[in-house]
Amino acid sequence: MEWVNLQTLWFALIAVLFIGYFVLEGFDFGVGILSRFLASDDTDRRVMINTIGPVWDGNEVWIITAGGAMFAAFPLWYATVFSSFYLPLFLILLALIVRGVSFEFRGKRSDDRWRWWWDQAIFWGSLLPALLWGVALANFVQGIPIADNGLYVGTLWDLLSPYALLGGVASLSMFTLHGAMYLALKTEEGGVIAERAHALALWLGLVVAAGVIAFLGWTYLNALAVGDTGVVPGIIPVSAMLAAVAAPILVRERLHGWAFAATTAMIALVVLTLFLNLYPRLLVSSIDPAFDITVSNARASDLTLTIMTWAAIVFLPIVLAYQSWTYWVFRHRISRASVEAPSDTPMQVLERRLARHRARGQERDT
Amino acid sequence: MDALELARIQFGTTTVYHFFFVPLSIGLAPLVAIFHTQYVRTGEERYRRLAKFWGKIFLVVFAMGVVTGIVQEFQFGMNWSAYSWFVGDIFGAPLALEGLLAFFLESTFLGLWIFGWDRLHPKLHVATIWLVVLGTHVSAYFILAANSWMQHPVGYTIDRITGQARLDDFVAVLTNPYLVGQFSHTILASWATGAFLVLGISGYYLFRQREVEVFRSSARTAVALAVLASIGVAFVGHEQAQHLTDAQPMKIAAAEALWETEAGAPLSLFAIGDVQDRRNIVDIGLPRGLAILATNTLDGEVQGINDLQAAYAEEYGEASYIPVVGVTYWSFRIMVGAGLAMIALSLFGLVTSLRGHIADHDRRFNRWWLWLLPWAIALPFLANTAGWILTEMGRQPWVVYGLLRTEDGVSGAVGTGYVATSLLGFTAIYGVLMVVTIGLIVRQVRTGPPEPVEGEELDDDHRTFAPLGAY
């Protein structure tokens, strides 16, 4: 594949995987966080969890695939990032473990203490990664103390600079708002959860807009200070800020679908800004630019990148197609009645459909 | 203990733990899919109840497999960054492909299966669980391709400038002779694991004569799978041992505690070794057994540990190339012993199933067999764990056979305190989750399959979106 710059292509594809992950699992995290604040009882919490029930696991695969793609396309990047961000990643892993099983486990028993524990797991397991991913990504751009050959020489505190923490607060608040818009769309119109999500979004949207403007502004100033703005065309961060400002306005107009589109665009554009700012670097060394991990010094061989490119060309559209189809299948809003309905078990419904199906078959035969 | 040792303990612990759930998912998924398919085809109530009952257990197991799997992917970079850097060009691609081709497939379609009861046409719905089955198997293929490359590197060159392994031939990596054996062995072992769980729980019910109609069906299906898988896994294992004799002779020698090269070597049944003096004090063996196992001939020569050590020292430099012989020797015996017990139990099941009295509680032998089955659930787990310990510890001191030593693969930048923290953290959370998971499965077993539905209601007006309330 000489007609394409493979390392740039894979930089772009990994950016796409991260954007996909933050846009999709972003609202999962938001719903998990908001399950503590917007629900008035257990039924409400079940409604909220069920809005993401069929999709959260598929959404999480985006980061697993992104990790695999980092490993395959830029082994040095993968090795350095994962060993440098050791404790944050350890916390993210713990969070994703308890959060993942809690969706499956919490409904298995109806006792209050059991559910209380899994609700804690859902809340903290959503909040921690929502915060820490922002911290991590901000650090990619700002730089961390890595020496020659990708060896991290800093401490935990080097990862917690004010800029990185702002990145964390920005991601946490963006995902929470994104989750609120998702709930406004996926729960009963005019219902308690949708209304509470709407009310929260009215003020949270302003916080997010301020956070995004501050974070992207700081990103740009940082880049100017070292005289290297990557390849950021100003229009990308500016659009991100506009989307962030548009979200609370659209909420005020009760255009929740558009507001969700705005938070989606905002997250995608913020992540895109960071990646564009990074290029052609992958991880900045705060010690010496000579130690930066870049697309050229970290890349895999032409052969590996070519094979991966063909796999991505063939399979990424297929994945997108069936994931989109899933969202289409589960496009309906979820109400309290729908999670309560004790008489109509899934199997009873299937039973009826089967019976109907066979009855039609018999009609045809006779 | 230093970071290297802790990182090794962490990898061993998290991997063994992860691999409790993986084979169970791979083995249970097809059984759930079979029951669901039977239901859609025949409309018989017992199949609906079986699909539902085993489906619930499958979901608990699958969730645990997913969340512990993320740790596996991250851990390479966290604790083994030097290794990751060295192998990334080859090892990363199967990992990325596993995500793209398998994880997306299984997680998305599992979501559709769980929540799709009311949404999808029954035939389309049953297709979603078969896609999950496909996903679990494709996933196994790619991760085992990666592992096989560590066992038997093929299709690579070493970069003269950086010293990294570079991909030379991807088809060779995907058709690695080691992989052919390892994939079939692992898949058959996984089917056996699923079959023995279903058999064990069915045995629990049949022994108590509860829900006989329902669990007779699942026991018969599971027996068929158990026979196929437990015998198949032994045959493939035999092929693997022969391949290993060429590819990793040290592993075979250590697994047999064979210190000196021998023609027509016996198959050791019980040995007490003296690792210091590199010899066995006690060794009881089947004459010529190892020669047959390793070479398919009565007088084939099998190389001993001492000769191999001398040869490796010459090739790779002065160091010990002997894995922990006691661990390899006994893990091999535990694996084979558990496997043989599984073959015996499933063959008995086949006979009693063919004679049509699998659920018969009054026949003496059958009653003992039913009583044994729940305990036999432990057998495949024992065999799986021992098998992986043999595979991975038998390869030491190498992490990539002949290319990279384990001690050279560890992260340079990660201190002992960090690894200790994560080891403690994972162990604690994994311990709690194991108790919870077993508790939930036991609870599910005690609760039993869902109530049968009487009559056929066609009233479409009362349709609600109830299935969405699955959580």
CA distance B10 to B20: 16
User: With 80 as the cut, is the pLDDT of residue A360 above it?
Assistant: no
pLDDT at residue A3, as a whole number: 57
Residues A142-198 have pLDDT tens digits of: 888 988 877 888 888 889 999 999 999 999 999 999 999 999 999 988 889 999 999
Q: What does pLDDT average to over chain A?
A: 89
Please give the tally of structural domains in chain A.
Answer: 1
Instruction: For residue B301, give the 3-state DSSP assignment.
Output: strand
Q: Which residues of B touch A108 (CB under 8 A)?
A: 60, 440, 443-444
CA distance B238 to B232: 10
Q: Is A141 part of any domain? A: yes
The verdict on a CB contact (< 8 Å) between A55 and B84 is: no
pLDDT at residue B296, as a whole number: 78
pLDDT at residue B460, as a whole number: 37
pLDDT at residue A229, as a whole number: 58
Structural domain boundaries, residue A54: 6-365
CA distance A350 to B120: 9
pLDDT at residue B259, as a whole number: 87
Higher pLDDT, B458 or A352: A352
Residues A313-334 have pLDDT tens digits of: 999 999 999 999 999 998 888 8
User: Which of B88, B104, B453 is closest, CB to CB, to A72?
Assistant: B88
Weakest mean pLDDT among A205-209, A277-281, B72-76, B266-270: B266-270
User: Quick check: B288 and B298 in contact, CB under 8 A?
Assistant: yes
pLDDT-based confidence at residue A364 (cuts at 50, 70, 90): low
Which whole number is the average pLDDT over A212-223?
90
Does residue B209 come out as left (phi exceeding 0), alpha (psi in the -120 to 50 range) or beta? left
The verdict on a CB contact (< 8 Å) between B76 and A54 is: no
Instruction: Give the rounded percent of residues in chain B with a pLDDT score beyond 70.
Output: 96
Strand positions, DSSP E, B334-471: 398-400, 404-405
**What is the chain B residue with the closest CA to A77?**
B85
pLDDT at residue B338, as a whole number: 96
Residues B341-388 have pLDDT tens digits of: 999 999 999 999 998 888 888 888 888 999 999 999 999 999 999 999
pLDDT-based confidence at residue A288 (cuts at 50, 70, 90): confident
The verdict on a CB contact (< 8 Å) between A97 and B429 is: yes
pLDDT at residue B470, as a whole number: 57
Residue in A315, A305, A362 with CA at minimum distance from that of residue A11:
A305
Chain B nearest CA to A262, separation (Å): 25
pLDDT at residue A184, as a whole number: 95
pLDDT at residue A339, as a whole number: 80
CA distance B234 to B256: 17
Q: Which residues of B touch A106 (CB under 8 A)?
A: 471
CB-based contacts of B360, cutoff 8 Å, min separation 6? B352, B366
Helix/strand/coil percentages in chain A, nearest 5: 80, 5, 20
CA distance A29 to B330: 46
Place of tokens 């994931």: A323
Q: What does pLDDT average to over chain B?
A: 89
Q: Which residues of B touch A301 (CB under 8 A)?
A: 89, 166-167
Q: Is A1 part of any domain? A: no
pLDDT at residue A85, as a whole number: 92
Two tokens, residue B82: 């030097």
CA distance A265 to A271: 10
pLDDT-based confidence at residue B469 (cuts at 50, 70, 90): very low
Place of tokens 């991760």: B143
Residues A63-120 have pLDDT tens digits of: 999 999 999 999 999 999 999 999 999 999 999 999 999 998 988 888 889 999 999 9
Strand positions, DSSP E, chain A: 281-283, 293-294
Residues B137-165 have pLDDT tens digits of: 999 999 999 999 999 999 999 988 888 99
Q: Which of B81, B101, B443, B457 should one mutate to test binding to chain A, selecting the residue with the greatest count of A CBs within 10 A?
A: B81
Q: What are phi and psi of B399, to 5 degrees?
A: -100, -40
Helices (H), B43-103: 45-79, 81-97
Q: Is A161 part of any domain? A: yes
How far, in Å, are A60, A78, A133, B113, B288 from residue A14 at the CA level? 15, 12, 15, 29, 55
pLDDT at residue B463, as a whole number: 35
The verdict on a CB contact (< 8 Å) between A307 and B87 is: no
Q: Which residues of A touch B418 (CB under 8 A)?
A: 86-87, 90
B279-286 and B398-400: which strand pairing? unpaired
User: Quick check: A337 and B464 in contact, CB under 8 A?
Assistant: yes
pLDDT at residue B157, as a whole number: 92
Chain A and chain B share a number of CB contacts under 8 A equal to 305
Distance of CA A108 to the CA centre of its chain: 27
pLDDT at residue A143, as a whole number: 87
Count of CB atoms within 10 A of residue B18's CB?
19
Weakest mean pLDDT among A226-230, B125-129, B446-450: A226-230
Which whole number is the average pLDDT over B437-456?
82
CB-based contacts of B229, cutoff 8 Å, min separation 6? B27, B188, B189, B191, B192, B195
Quick one: which H or E segment has residue A28? helix A6-34
pLDDT-based confidence at residue A222 (cuts at 50, 70, 90): confident
Residues A171-183 have pLDDT tens digits of: 999 999 999 999 9
Q: What residue segments make up the domains of chain B, in order of their start? A: 231-413
Count of CB atoms within 10 A of residue A192's CB?
16
CA atoms within 13 A on the CB side of B81: 24
Which whole number is the average pLDDT over A4-19?
92
Higher pLDDT, A228 or B105: B105
Q: What's chain A's length in residues? A: 366
**What is the chain B residue with the closest CA to A102?**
B63
Q: What is the DSSP letter of A129?
A: H
